[in-house]
A and B are shown apart, each in its own frame.
Chain A
């Protein structure tokens, strides 16, 4: 049994210690916004925030994250109001959308660290794969979100 802190709430899950956090989120907690893409931490579709940092949940066993703060795409806002979500809508970023939860969370972590990132900083931080090829709009939306979160911008509602 492991006690997890997901999106600010505690959950007890009875799974094998080696179960990747990804499958606990999806199959035990019905948080299906976190996606399975490769199982090797290569693609980023499974990205979540662990203590505020982007982390690929398909290669992290549940036993390693017990008690630590995990935020999934569902925990970003109640109403799509997080600046990164708003920027994503404004720039019409998603196509199929499957990789976008991971893209958005990688961006949230980046902006937490670097509120006004350069393109080079974006390149280093957002290494998620998108087969639809939304990269131009992803970059544009990251810059837009940075502006929205900048000095004077309204603060997002915390969940």
Chain B
């Protein structure tokens, strides 16, 4: 397989590829501004280029961070195009509005939006390309296009036995009118979607040849590293780099608002020089903040007014008349992303403009950050997207890009590669917000949940993506699929000044721990089986209810829910997330405070399963990310600064701790849902619920290590 090297490809293509790519692209900015158009019109050439050498290049609007976007999106185009998979090359899209995700309007690889956002559009593009190729061949042969077919990058004309390759008619195809509404295959006709294709990025990830942002190398490149204020909101007061002057490799100290960058002729020398820079900070207004105060502030919010996200029936009246009332509060800490590849960016600033090389989930945000530093229009900044050594939401931010551009601007046209230390990475993240929920539930005499009141308090963007809608951070609570006649959810955003951001699964990383944990408490209070209790609340005709029910049933069947092995206990949780429905059953045994996880059974209904093997990989990986958080994930604060520094005190799950996991996909013909994000959420509630089943101890805060539980996994 030709996995075409991705840099510069797109701009070069128009000049070098004598095929279907030519002159079809609508200028991106123009496309974005078309009035009344929900999405910029998308032409095949911006996504699909076929060379006269038969090479098919697909330009993916999704970057590759291990989630499989470089394979799944091409599969969708190739399904309709009929191209041969071994002629495929993949290139990253440059920053341009034409690549904005049709579902949410940004060119960002976030929120499990790639497949679900592009599913229809990319099929249309593939189908349009197919028709153009058919018409070009038919024109050449002077036959009707209706008599021609396509198979594996060949156009065939059965009546005459003629055939030709895509490449031989690509140039002519480019001049054919672009079909605006090409017919698409039905799900039953799919041969590529739903099949196993080898991930295109894997071969270069087994021999070190895959290029990540940190691997960028340019002539005359300098190296930089950075340290910034340990306290949130702190500012640089002064610095003294006189001790660096004796280091021959030292080139410059570049001050930032909140710290310093040191530039040298190698990374190691930059790091040594940075250690010799004496920096004084103004610690800022948060120098007294610590984790206990965060917790107090969150819990104080339970009694402060918030925004009503859902209000069905009369929850107060129903609570007052309930046969049994249950109350509990839950809480989770801040978390860091800890991508394996520390934040880094290479930048070069010249009179002509700026080039930026980095792994980014959001090329236009990188472009905008660079443009802002330089005071130039974004069009003057070219972003060269590289592989990402982990993203998880952290690389949707562009703080490290602004820093690299600031350094490059000071270095007179020389490219500068800025690499953060792991300590800088852990201590200057955009953290998964700490959050807390107070629940009040009411059961009737028959043990049915008749009232549920939830107060969600967090530090989060109040209405991201949902202007006028319920507060974003009440996701996985206010949108619960359970039928609860009296159900009120209120959200309160308390911005405590700690930098927060999007962490894998976002609100679904922690709200399900709290919500599904409390649902489990209600089931136990009602004396009901937790699986049956959930099933009973999903017997209504909303689409989400039936799909969530199917996930529950599949898991229960696979885990053999009614019959746990002797001495073992099950915990269960399921919910809707990112357009999919997901759940997990965990099988544990507990001796003293040692929790042994014997087995994790996961199921997802993600609609049409575009790339099943990769879906299973994402479920496994998402679960591991969640399991680390459950077991020991916490960022704590002291004197306004993050306490943790590296993997020794922010430890992540290691290979010996990996439990046995089974992942199942519910067959579905519904439109695709997300798969990268959802898998992270279910492990926390299902593990906590399993611990309750085994011990009678309810875990209402994370991590488990704070509850003095330890953990081990067994594989047999």
Of B204, B267, B614, B661, the contact of A23 (CB 8 Å cutoff): B267
- Interface check B220, CB cutoff 8 A: no
**B390 CB → nearest A CB, Å:** 5
Tell whether A147 is near chain B: CB-to-CB under 8 Å. Answer: no
Query: For residue B215, which residue of chain A has the nearest CB?
Result: A32
Report chain B residues within 8 Å CB of A126. 655
- Count of B interface residues, CB-CB < 8 Å: 61
Q: From A19, A37, A135, A139, give the contact of B342 (CB < 8 A).
A: A37
Asked if B198 and A35 sit within 8 Å, CB to CB, the answer is no
From A30, A95, A131, B617 is in contact (CB under 8 Å) with A95
Q: In the complex, A126→B655 CA distance in Å?
A: 7
B 621-665 to A, binary, CB cutoff 8 A, 1 in contact else 0: 111110000000000000000000011100011111010010000
Known: A20-B268, A40-B646, A95-B66. A136 touches B661 (CB 8 A): yes
Residues 422-442 of B at the A interface (beta carbon under 8 Å): 422
Distance (whole angstroms) from the CB of B279 to the closest CB of chain A = 20
Inter-chain contact A96/B655, CB cutoff 8 Å: no
The 8 Å CB contact of B198, one of A40, A92, A100, is: A92
Q: Which residues of A contact B199 (CB under 8 A)?
A: 92, 94
- Interchain CB contact under 8 A, A99 and B340: yes
Which A residues touch B715, using CB under 8 A? 119
- What is the 8 Å Cβ interface bit string for chain A, positions 80-109, against chain B (1 contact, 0 not)? 100001001100111111111100100000
Would you call A34 an interface residue if the criterion is a C-beta within 8 Å of the partner chain's C-beta atoms?
yes
Interface majority SS on B: helix, strand, loop or mixed? loop
Chain A CB within 8 A of B266 CB: yes
B268 and A134 contacting across the interface, CB-CB below 8 Å: no
Residue of A nearest to B716 (CB): A119
Contact B389 A98 (CB under 8 A): yes
Q: What residue in chain B is nearest A28 (Cβ atoms)?
A: B266
Residues facing B in A26-67 (CB within 8 A) are 26-28, 30-40, 42-43, 45
- Alpha-carbon distance A45/B268, docked complex (angstroms): 17
Quick check: B66 and A132 within 8 Å, CB to CB? yes
Q: State in angstroms the CA–CA spacing of A124 and B67 once bound together.
A: 28
Asked if A116 is at the interface (CB within 8 A of a chain B CB), the reply is: no
Contact A129 to B622, CB < 8 A, known contacts A95-B617, A97-B210, A135-B658: no
Q: Are A97 and B387 in contact (CB under 8 A)?
A: yes
Q: Which A-chain residue is minimally distant from B663 (CB atoms)?
A: A136
The complex places the Cα of A20 from the Cα of B210 at a distance, in Å, of 22
**CA of A31 to CA of B65, assembled, Å:** 21
Closest beta carbon of chain B to A142's beta carbon, Å: 9
Which residue of chain B is the closest to A76 with respect to CB atoms? B207
Kindly identify, within residues 59 to 89 of chain B, every residue whose CB is under 8 Å from any CB belonging to chain A: 65-68
Which residue in A39, A72, A96 is a CB contact (below 8 Å) of B66? Answer: A96
| A118→B358 CA distance, assembly (Å) | 40
B614 to chain A, nearest CB (A): 8
Query: Is A128 part of the binding interface, using a Cβ–Cβ cutoff of 8 Å?
Result: yes
A6 interfacial contact with B, CB 8 Å: no
CB pair A94–B652 under 8 Å, yes or no, is no
User: Is B212 positioned at the interface, with any CB of A under 8 Å from its CB?
Assistant: yes
Residues of B contacting A73 in the complex (Cβ-Cβ under 8 angstroms): 206-208
- Counting CB contacts under 8 A, is B316 at the interface? no
Query: With a CB–CB cut-off of 8 A, which chain A residues contact B483?
Result: none
**B266: nearest residue on chain A (CB-CB)?**
A27
A16 to B390: give the CA distance in the assembly, Å. 31
User: What size tier do the contact residues of chain A reach?
Assistant: 35 or more
Question: Complex formed: what's the CA distance from A59 to B634 in Å?
Answer: 26
Residue picked from A130, A134, A138, A139, most chain B C-beta under 10 Å: A130
A7-21 contact mask (Cβ, 8 Å, vs B): 1 or 0:
000000001100110
* B 262-302 binary contact with A (CB < 8 Å = 1; else 0): 00001111001000000000000000000000000000000
Question: 1/0 contact trace for A123-159 toward B, CB 8 Å?
Answer: 1101111111111111100000000000000000000
Contact in complex: A130, B646 (CB < 8 Å): no
Q: Which of A23, A123, A130 contacts B656 (CB 8 A)?
A: A123
Of residues 198 through 233 on chain B, the ones whose CB sits less than 8 Å from some CB of chain A are 198-199, 201-212, 214-215, 217, 223
In the bound complex, residues from chain B placing their C-beta under 8 Å from that of A5 are: none
- Inter-subunit contact A80/B203 (CB<8 Å): yes
Find chain A residues with CB under 8 A from B268 CB.
15-16, 19-20, 23, 27
B392 contacts partner chain A, Cβ-Cβ < 8 Å: yes
Q: How far is the CA of A43 from the CA of B217 in the complex (A)?
A: 24
Query: CA separation between A79 and B647, bound complex, in Å?
Result: 33
Chain B 565-618 residues near chain A, CB threshold 8 A: 613-614, 617
In the bound complex, what is the Cα–Cα distance between A85 and B209 (angstroms)? 13
Of the residues B201, B208, B269, contact of A72 by C-beta under 8 Å:
B208
Could you tell me the distance in whole angstroms from the C-beta of B682 to the nearest C-beta in chain A?
14
> Which of A80, A101, A138 is B655 in contact with, Cβ under 8 Å?
A138
Closest residue of A by beta carbon distance from B425: A38
Of A32, A35, A39, A95, which is in contact with the most chain B CB atoms at under 10 Å from its CB? A95
A132 to B624, CA, bound (A): 8
Contacts of A132 in B (CB 8 A): 66, 340, 390, 621, 624-625
> Is residue A77 contacting chain B, with contact meaning CB distance below 8 A?
yes
Distance between Cα atoms of A91 and B338 in the complex (Å): 25
Q: Is the CB of B340 within 8 A of A89?
A: no
Give every chain A residue within 8 A of B622 (Cβ-Cβ): 133
State whether the Cβ of B341 lies closer than 8 Å to any Cβ in chain A: yes
Bound-state CA distance A93–B617 (Å) is 9
Q: Is the CB of A96 within 8 A of B648?
A: no
Q: Tell me whether A122 is interfacial, beta carbon within 8 Å.
A: yes
A101 x B208 contact (CB < 8 A):
yes
Complexed CA–CA distance, A133 and B623 (Å)? 8
Say how far A64's CB is from chain B's closest CB, in angstroms: 15
Given contacts A98-B389, A136-B620, A137-B617, contact A131 B340 (CB under 8 A): yes
Q: Which residues of A contact B621 (CB under 8 A)?
A: 95, 132-134
Please name the residue on chain B nearest to A96 by beta carbon.
Answer: B66
State the CA gap A136–B624 with chains docked (Å): 10
Nearest B-chain residue to A30, judged by Cβ? B217
A122 touching B202, Cβ below 8 Å? no
Distance in angstroms from B208 CB to nearest chain A CB is 2
CB–CB B388/A96 < 8 A: yes
A124 to B655, CA, bound (A): 9
**Cβ of A122 to closest chain B Cβ, rounded Å:** 7
- Residues in A with CB closer than 8 Å to B387 are 96-97
Complex A-B: 17 CB contacts under 8 Å: A23-B267, A33-B208, A40-B646, A40-B647, A77-B207, A80-B206, A94-B206, A95-B66, A96-B66, A96-B387, A96-B390, A97-B212, A98-B339, A123-B656, A133-B625, A133-B653, A135-B624
Interface positions of B (Cβ within 8 A of A): 65-68, 198-199, 201-212, 214-215, 217, 223, 266-269, 272, 338-342, 387-392, 419, 421-422, 613-614, 617, 620-625, 646-648, 652-656, 658, 661, 715
